[in-house]
Amino acid sequence: MTETGSVPAQEAQPSEDVGHPRRWAILGVLVVSLIVVVLDNTVLNVAMKTLADPNHGVGASQSELAWMINSYTLVFAGLLFAAGVIGDRVGRKRMLLIGLVVFGTASLLSAYSATPDQLIWYRALMGAGAAVMMPSTLSLLRDVFSNKEFPKALGIWTGAVGIGGAVGPIVGGALLERFWWGSVFLINVPIVIFGIIAIIVLAPESKGSQARPDLVGMALSMLGLVSLTYGIIEAGDAGSWTGVEVWGAIALGVLILVGFVLWERHIPYASLDMKLFKSTRFSASSAIITLTFFGMMGLMFFMTFYLQLLKGFTPLETGLLFLPFGASMLVFAPLSNGMVQRFGAKTVGIVAMLLVMTNFAVTGLVFDAETSVWVVIGLFFITGAGMANLMPPAMNTLMSSVSKERAGVASALGNTLRQTGGALGVAVLGTVMAQSYRSEITDAAPQLPDAARESYASTYGAIETGAIPAEAVGAVTQAANESFVTALHVTALTAVGVGLIGLIVIAAFFPGKRPRTPEARSEQAAERAMTEA
DSSP of 182-250: THHHHTHHHHHHHHHHHHHHHPPP-----SPP-HHHHHHHHHHHHHHHHHHHHHHHHT-S-SHHHHHHH
Mean pLDDT of 512-516: 64
pLDDT tens per residue across span 100-150: 999 999 999 988 988 888 888 998 899 889 888 887 887 787 778 877 777
pLDDT at 77: 76
Q: How much is the mean pLDDT over the chain?
A: 77
251 has pLDDT over 80: yes
Q: How confident is the model at residue 371 (pLDDT cuts 50, 70, 90)?
A: confident
pLDDT tens per residue across span 292-322: 888 877 777 778 778 877 787 876 777 788 8
- Taking alpha carbons only, the member of 154, 151, 131 closest to residue 40 is 131
Query: Which of 119-123, 272-276, 343-347 shows the lowest mean pLDDT across its residues?
Result: 272-276
Q: How confident is the model at residue 378 (pLDDT cuts 50, 70, 90)?
A: very high
391 has pLDDT over 90: no
Give the number of other CB atoms < 10 A from CB of residue 364.
Answer: 17
Residues, the chain, total? 533
In the chain, the percentage of residues whose pLDDT exceeds 90 is: 6
Q: What is the pTM of this model?
A: 0.72
Query: Which of 139-143, 352-356, 435-439, 527-531 shows the lowest mean pLDDT across its residues?
Result: 527-531
68 has pLDDT over 70: yes
414 has pLDDT over 90: no
pLDDT at 404: 63
Give the Cα separation of 325 and 73 in Å (integer).
22
User: Which whole-number Å values give the CA distances from 501 to 196, 232, 361, 390, in the listed order?
Assistant: 42, 21, 15, 14
- Taking alpha carbons only, the member of 52, 70, 73 closest to residue 62 is 52
User: Which whole-number Å values give the CA distances from 141 to 48, 151, 154, 157, 331, in the listed order?
Assistant: 35, 10, 8, 9, 19
pLDDT at 237: 65
